[in-house]
Amino acid sequence: MTSAVEKLLNLPGTKVAGYQQLEGYICLHLKFTSRGINCRHCQEYTQQFHQATFILVRDLPTFGQPVYLKLPRRRFYCPRCQRYVTEKLEFIDWRQVYTRRYEQHIYQRVLSVSVEQVSREEDLSSEVIQGIFKRVSNQLKKKTGVKSNV
């Protein structure tokens, strides 16, 4: 059964295992519901779990507080091609520490107010805000062929 928090979070394939309300932010501890993955090299399904490390990923704010997701980065062993494979997460771009929807949120905010204002309100450096804006802008350009400028 899906909890109300999981429905509100709207990240398919995840369950909320716990949470912490810390000084100035909320941290949701997530786990994944799948037991395995398809190997990105040979496409064979494997459940041979190798290891997990945890990462903190910033998500959309809620209740006026920043939200971080504590996620396991799971690695599996593929016996068919004999490689170790890190699970791909659909809601985070590779090697990023922000969810795609949070990056979209930042992008939309920068379109309507200054980078400096978003930087202050989100407690991120101007360089980080500009990097997020540029990354999302480039992704949109690839999809639509239209470039945004700020």
What was the pLDDT predicted at 143?
85
Enumerate the domain spans of the chain: 1-97, 98-150
19: Cα separation from own chain's centroid? 17
Q: Tokens for 71? A: 């996620």
DSSP character at residue 34:
-
Q: Which amino acid is at 16?
A: V
Give the global pTM. Answer: 0.89
Note the pLDDT tens digit of each residue in 90-149.
999 989 999 999 999 999 999 999 999 999 999 999 999 999 999 999 999 988 876 666
d(CA 10, CA 69): 13
Q: Tokens for 102? A: 């949070």
Average pLDDT score over the chain:
93
Q: Inter-axis angle of helices 100-112 and 115-122, to 10 degrees?
A: 130
What does the pLDDT average to over 47-52?
97
- Residue indicated by tokens 């997530």: 30
d(CA 130, CA 106): 9
Note the pLDDT tens digit of each residue in 54-65.
999 999 999 899
Note the pLDDT tens digit of each residue in 63-78.
899 999 999 999 999 9
Are 52 and 29 in contact by the 8 Å Cβ rule? The answer is: no
d(CA 62, CA 80): 43
Q: Tokens for 4? A: 């109300």
Q: Tokens for 41? A: 């090299």
